[in-house]
Structure 1
C-alpha cells in the first residue's frame, strides 16, 4: 500500500536520494543535503505546532510503500510565499501599439519582473522515483497536498499556485536562461537554480532586469519554450489543470516554465472532499477514493475502497492500520468519480 504522510527527520537519506535522481532544474530539490535535513526538521516542527493561522512554514510530505518501508516520492506545501522572501516571476504583458500616421496597429508582448503572489500558498516538490511511476503514486502525492490544506484551511492562503519545470536540455542547460537571464546574473543555470532554492533571493533583486524585456527580440527557439513544461512535468501539469489551476502568463525567470494558479476554494479535491466518522468494515462493492486522517498531527493519506453510509465511512483493517486510525475518528474522503 502507498501512503502519503508527514515527513520525519529520519527520512533524510531517502530524501537525499530522491533529490539526486531529480536532476538539474528541479529547483525545490536543488539544495545541499544539510538544507534538505533542515527542511525535514522544520516540517516536523510545523506539523506538530498547535496553530490555526497562516505562517511561512513548509509542510513536507513523503510517499511511502508500506510493504517495503521505502520512500518512492515526495511533495510539499509552502503555506505562504512572497512575504519575507520575494517570489519572483516574469509576467508577460501585452501592449497595444498604434500609429495613425504610419497606419500600423499591432500588439507587442514583453516580460516584467514581478512579485505578484505575496501571501499565496504554493504546492510543489512533486517528484516520484522510477520505482513509483505508473502506480498512481504521482496522483496520490499531488492530491494529498490538497487534503492537507483542507484539514486546516486557516493555515493556508486564499490563492494557491504551482511552478512547473521549464524546458531543459539533456546536458542540464536551459535555452531560456542562456539567452534571457544569463546576461543579468553572469552565472550558469545550475548555480542560479541552487541560489534561488537556498537563499532569500536578494540576488534576483540586485541583479535582475529593471526594465521590460520585449519578446520579439528573442530568437524563435527561445520564444518557443516560454511557458512550456518540461517533458517530465507534462503529467503534473495535467493534474493541476484537472484540479482547476490555470496558466495566466506568469513564467519562471530561469527556465521560462509556467506558473499556474487558482483560488484555494476552487481546488477540486478540496471542494469535493467530505468529512466522515470512520468504522471498521469489509468494503465489498464500495467506492474508491482518497482517505486522509484530516488532522495535522500524524497526517496520512491513501487510496482505498470504502463503504459510505450517511456521515459514517467503512474502512478495512489494513487501511485503518496504515493510517493509524481508530473507530470513531474523524476522517476526510475524496470520492473518485
Structure 2
C-alpha cells in the first residue's frame, strides 16, 4: 500500500475524474449535521445551502438556521459553499414547500456539477465510495437518480445506544424515502423524489422491508449490492425530547394533535415500553413493525454529535 493510500480515510474513495459532484443542504436541523456532511464533504466540488431568510420552516415555525450555518462553515474548510436565500412556507401543504426548497438547491447547482447528493442533515452515510460506484452504474444504465436503503433510529437511550426499527421477526429492515443522488437539472416532484427512472439499491438478501414486497414501480430498477453496514443511518427520532417536540411542530408531515399524541403515547415512553411496541410509524401502517437495540452508531459520529 502506498503512503497516499495510508492517509486516505477508509470511508472515502476518490470520485471518477470526469464526475463533478455537488450537494445541497437545507439548514433547518443541526442534529448530526456535522457528522453527516463530514462523511462526504471531501468528494464535493460544489455545495449549496438553501436558507430561509425569515429563519422559519415549511410550517412557519422557527428553525435554527444560523446554528446550521455555523456548523456547515466549520466543516467547509475549502470555502466552497454558496448560500441561496429565499422563503419556503406552506402551512396547508408543507411538503410542497419542502419540494420547492430542494428544487432551489438543484437549480442553484446548475451546470457546476454532473451529479448531486441530497442527503438530509440527520442521515449518516457510512460508505460514500459505494454511492459513487452506484452513481457510475446508474449513469451507465441511463438512469438519473439513485435511492439508498435507510436504517431508522427511533430513540436514543441513556446508555448511548439507540432503538432501531426492525422487522416483525427482529431482522433488519430499511426505508426507501427517495433518491440521495440525482443528475444535475433534475426536477423534484415530491420532496427528494424526482421525475424519471430511479436505481433503487438494496441490501443483499433483504426480504423484510415493506417497500420491497411489492413489484418495482414504473421507472424503478432494483439492484442488490449492499451489506447492512452500508445502509444510511437515519436519526429520524433519536433525539432529545425538546428536539422531538420541535420536529413535530415544524416537519413537512405535521399533523397537529395527532403528532402530540404520538409523542406522549409512543415516543416518550419507548425506553421502557419498546419491547412490546408494534406498528409504530406515526402515519404509515405496517411500515415500522417493531424495535430492536443497536450499539453500532457512536463510532460513526463526530465527538460533538455523540
Instruction: Give the TM-score normalised by structure 2.
Output: 0.28
Specify which structure has the higher proportion of strand: 1
Larger Rg: 1
